[in-house]
Structure 1
Amino acid sequence: MKITLDRVNDNFHFELKNERGHIVNVDSRPEFGGDNMGASPMELVLMGVAGCSAIDMISILKKQRQEITSFKAEVEGERIQVGEAKPFKEIDVVFFLEGTINEEKAARAAQLSFEKYCSVAKTVEPTATIKYKVVLNGVQLDS
């Protein structure tokens, strides 16, 4: 896996491209000298957690022939000061699923994603606690 980065302006706007040609813009907020032309690197980490776990869950549920009519997630990260850096201390994920989906299968798909499959979660796990909830058809499932 390889990513290339090109600087777009004189501040912190970068264009990143993967080997397949997909482009992501990264920037910093104006209060930190950026121009707000893309997501911050730390926001990309949270996006990675959301995307990785969503792919896992949908894959698991499709194999179990569950009918997913809507899949959304919200991810929030709490950061702490460690020297000059501010890594994530805690990441909270809420999945919102709709469809004809068995409750136990939905809960198990989330559990398997975070405990076994999600490489992004496993990457941040040594420094951040990840908590998750599943809301199925408007009802929060027991964890």
Structure 2
Amino acid sequence: MTEDTFRSVEIERTSVGQYVVRNARGGSMSIGTGQDGSFTPVELLLAAIGGCTAIDVDHITSRRAEPTQFSVEVTGDKVRDTAGGNRMQNLTVEFTVTFPSGADGDAAREALPRSLQQSHDRLCTVSRTVELGTPVSIVEAAGSSGD
């Protein structure tokens, strides 16, 4: 991996079921089990899928016209399956995007379906990773068990 391709976050426990996730740029947010207002890991997964596609689509369409409405709803069903383990299924990303009247708005409306497809097929790293089923390795750092 090169510095250009490497991505990471650090997660620190603040109490039972409560954590702070930090990125290399200094951003942070709380995550937890859903007992308070903190995002759960599943909600973050949904946000990552929708946010990734939203960024792609926004960059492509807003070159033509500034949207008058741009919202994304990401839904799915959490399944507890003894055979396959816990997972999400029926993931759907629904865009509601409107553009102003006129030639620029027409150009943005025309670009919208193609930009959605481009994001899904090749641009959005998050949904591409989920759909391709990239393996995840879970490892214990050397010396992390204590004394």
Q: TM-score, normalised by structure 1?
A: 0.75
What is the CA–CA distance in structure 1 between the aligned matches of 2:132 and 2:112, rounded to whole Å? 26
Partner residue of 1:13?
18
2:120 corresponds to which letter in structure 1?
F
* Structure 1 stretch displaced more, 48-57 or 80-89: 80-89
2:48 corresponds to which letter in structure 1?
G
Partner residue of 1:72?
71
Q: How does 1:1-40 map to 2 (within 5 A)?
A: 1-9=7-15, 11-29=16-34, 35-40=35-40
Moved over 6 A (4+): none
Percent sequence identity over aligned pairs: 27
Is this contact kept in 2: 1:13–1:37, CA < 8 A? Answer: no
Q: How does 1:128-143 map to 2 (within 5 A)?
A: none
Give CA-to-partner distance per residue, 1:42-78, whole Å, 9 cap, x none: 1100000111000000111134x13312210111012
Q: Secondary structure at the residue paired with 1:20?
A: coil
1:78 corresponds to which letter in structure 2?
D
Structure 1 stretches lacking a partner, 5+ long: 30-34, 128-143
Deviation of 1:108 after TM superposition, in Å, equals: 1.0
What is the CA–CA distance in structure 1 between the aligned matches of 2:85 and 2:10, rounded to whole Å? 24
**Cα-Cα RMSD:** 1.8
Q: TM-score, normalised by structure 2?
A: 0.73
Partner residue of 1:42?
42
Q: Secondary structure at the residue paired with 2:56?
A: helix
Q: Which has the higher strand share?
A: 1
Partner residue of 1:126?
132
Aligned positions, number: 120
Give CA-to-partner distance per residue, 1:11-60, whole Å, 9 cap, x none: 1100000000111211003xxxxx42411111100000111000000111
Structure 2 stretches lacking a partner, 5+ long: 1-6, 134-147
1:20 corresponds to which letter in structure 2?
R
Partner residue of 1:135?
none
Give CA-to-partner distance per residue, 1:72-127, whole Å, 9 cap, x none: 01110123334473111221111011213333311111111111100110111135
CA change 1:85–1:37 in 2 (3 A) is farther
What is the CA–CA distance in structure 2 between the aligned matches of 1:107 and 1:14, rounded to whole Å? 38
2:68 corresponds to which letter in structure 1?
T
1:49 corresponds to which letter in structure 2?
I
Is this contact kept in 2: 1:46–1:75, CA < 8 A? Answer: yes
